[in-house]
Structure 1
């Protein structure tokens, strides 16, 4: 029963792979002739590819469950190889789809940018040719819009700079506090050293006095 289920599911996987290859071939044609925007046909093919990839993910998951449900000794090597191959083909198809989609989008962005630049050049030429008849107020308004845009960009940069300055100031205060604590510790060390030195001096003095007293007592005992 499990072998029959595996074969049926694998047959579905093969069918989905053929459908995916067909749609990928159709999608590659849009890469050869990129339009400013995705048309209905391109969107239909794109949606079909995504749907097929999702179905193939589900099919491979089902094949995994079938093989995992069987005894490890009962699973043939050919089934495992077939399952691995389906995963590899799915991965290759997904990479091809993503690569073509990225290439189409890049080409579309480039074409739109070129179109925008050409439109700006054409508009500039028209303004130049009609310079004598241009309305001064319209020109001033255009310049004002450009200046406002530049000011807005400058304001954003200044806000970022102020934020960075505040961060640096906060870090500087933290470092200054740490430095003060370090200096306090360093200054406290000499005081400890002086205290230890005084203790050692007093200990030596007491030892010397004790030794003198003992010597005197010995001499007195000897002469008496």
Structure 2
């Protein structure tokens, strides 16, 4: 139950952050609901469990910081409403919205640049892969044209296959024995 109360408190905290600047009155209500949830979690917590007490204490500390933040926002909000006329307030809100839109545009631009670099890197890797594939094919072609090297390469690949089959069988037998006797 305590964990559910703390989870609800965290949800209220995220809602508080979203509504702080757009609707400070709603943020105040969310803060009060969050305080009630934390007090209920605190009353149901086991005092011998130091971890849960520390968790609840940190939640209360964050609640106090958010209350201070809300008080600051409310003071600024009240000061703006007293000083600014409704038209000036609307202009200020439009200006803030424009700043936020510019910030979003900048982050989208940065993301697009990052994606372009990633695609360019991918193309470079594909090009390097094709170059290395061509080099490997040329070396194998040259090696196959020389009879002595061709025989050595064939024997090596046959030994590798044989060794890998033997190793695979050994590992599978050991795994089966381990499973049966464990």
Q: TM-score, structure 1 length as denominator?
A: 0.33
Bigger-Rg structure (1/2): 1
Task: Identify which of structures 1 and 2 has the higher relative contact order when contacts are C-alpha pairs closer than 8 Å and 6+ apart.
Answer: 1
